[in-house]
Structure 1
Amino acid sequence: MLDIVRQEGEETVGGAARVFTFFRDRLLSGELKAGDRLLAERELALALGVSRPVLREALRSLAMLGLLDIQHGRGAFVRSADASVLGQALTLCLAPEPNILDDVLQARIAIECQAIRLACDRASERDLQAIASTLDRLVDSLDDPERGGEADYAFHLAIVRAAGSAALMKIYEAISPLLMRSHVERRRDTFREPAITSGLVEAHRQVFLSLAQRDPDAADRRLREHFAIGDDLRRRNLISHYKPQGKKRP
């Protein structure tokens, strides 16, 4: 009995993998695009060599990821990927990993440093205005960790958006729940220290100015300096937290 259950499980996993591979490859080749209708269930099951129950479960999984729209009586239609849905799935995968926020920060640095170089060449005046408005929000929210963290995230998101790269934007949005958490936690650590918060504002301002001047080397350098400030801040906070406190003399 156990062998039968195990065999059925392996067939289900293998069948689902064939469905996912088929869907991925057709998207990459351009044979499938948003709005296209998949083959009828019977035809698709025969073409892929999977049972109809396995096919249905695989299609439901793709629908849960926001990649398909299954309409009763009409069939399954390809959807444009919803980064927020994919982001939730990615967050669930990454959340159990140790030191995940530090790890995600490294991914963020890689994305943003490439994005700001592209933005120096591609950003429109509208993009620059959008980034400038988030800089104003940063200044207005220094005493509020929640609003400040959101404004900080919005500033960096606007830079990635200005790069005009769909791939970078989708990846960045996919890790946005973790990025937002990181921004808010950093603000909670610093909002009571005016010297630090004012320094953060100046760092963001320098990043913006180098981007507005369309100098990719300077923009990259300023952005990396900004990230280094954050690393130094976390290190000093950690030392302060665990440093033995001297006893006061009577």
Structure 2
Amino acid sequence: MTEVPAVEARQTGSQRVVSYFKERILRGHLKVGDRVMPERELAQELNVGRPLLREVMKSLVMLGFLDVRQGSGTYIARADIRVLSDFFTFCLSQEQDILEDVMQARMAIECQAIRLACERANEADLSRIGQWLSALIETLGDPEAGGRADFMFHQSIVAASHSRSLTTLYGAMSELLQRSHVQRRATTYRNPNIVRVLVEAHREVFLSIVAKDADQADRRLREHFAIGDDLRRKSLIETYRSGLERKLN
């Protein structure tokens, strides 16, 4: 069998198989549509048994990284973000209090995305963001539909950045983010004053993008996040106090 480097030798067989594809794709040695070498040759190249290689490759097929074509062979596939999103959500859901951490990652992505959107957004992008702003306003009394409209408003801003890296990372968190939007709608959009403040915050964010003012857009978005965070904290305090009063009475 082929001798493998010391670093690879310390890896398990399955790790060597995954690393083989990851490293060669990163280096450009394998691209989407390229045919993978036959199983026997690949097993020798990686110094692993064919049954193990077969099982790991089946997992990579399920994740959308590889494509098996009957009678033709195995090819490098273009990964489907929906599959990666499910995997990412599954991993994060096992962590405690993960939504707060996801929110911090969301802020980092959106603040960079909105700056790029001010430079790169086209008419279709602006129209899409504007449509979701209108939908957001029209669904203030519906936590489910309103939460989705709120999420789509922000997702459309990230899409308007035309950054594949940012949209991929944001997409991987999409299910968790959409759930958080719905939850916040159910708890914070009760007070008319709160509704007015949040609607105005979204409108200011949108107008800043239209004006192509990156600094103002970044500032407005951060203000919007700060407002939302403050409202969430006040809502939790109010819920706790109400629950305590019911118990005492």
- Asked whether the 8 Å contact 1:144–1:191 carries over to 2, the reply is no
Alpha-carbon distance between aligned partners in 2 of 1:68 and 1:246, rounded to the nearest angstrom: 57
Q: 1:248 deviation in Å?
A: 11
1:1-250 aligned at under 5 Å gives the runs 14-243=12-241, 244-245=244-245
Q: Aligned letter for 1:62?
A: L
Q: 1:36 deviation in Å?
A: 1.6
Alpha-carbon distance between aligned partners in 1 of 2:247 and 2:20, rounded to the nearest angstrom: 68
* Identical pairs, percent: 55
For residues 9-63 of structure 1, give each alpha carbon's deviation from its aligned partner in whole angstroms, at most 9, with x where no partner exists. xx9x711111111111111112222222111111111111111111111111111
Aligned residues: CA RMSD: 1.9
**Partner residue, 2:6:** none
Alpha-carbon distance between aligned partners in 2 of 1:36 and 1:246, rounded to the nearest angstrom: 65
Runs of 4+ residues over 4 Å off in structure 1? 246-249
Q: 1:111 deviation in Å?
A: 0.3
Structure 2 stretches lacking a partner, 5+ long: 1-8
DSSP-derived class of the 1:245 partner = helix
Q: Aligned letter for 1:142?
A: L
Alpha-carbon distance between aligned partners in 1 of 2:129 and 2:236, rounded to the nearest angstrom: 31
DSSP-derived class of the 1:142 partner = coil
DSSP-derived class of the 1:196 partner = helix
Aligned length: 238
Could you say if the C-alpha distance between residues 71 and 205 of structure 1 is closer, same or farther in structure 2, counting changes exceeding 3 Å? same
Normalising by structure 2, we get a TM-score of: 0.91
Alpha-carbon distance between aligned partners in 2 of 1:138 and 1:32, rounded to the nearest angstrom: 43
Alpha-carbon distance between aligned partners in 2 of 1:220 and 1:14, rounded to the nearest angstrom: 45
Structure 1 stretches lacking a partner, 5+ long: 1-10
Q: Aligned letter for 2:165?
A: A
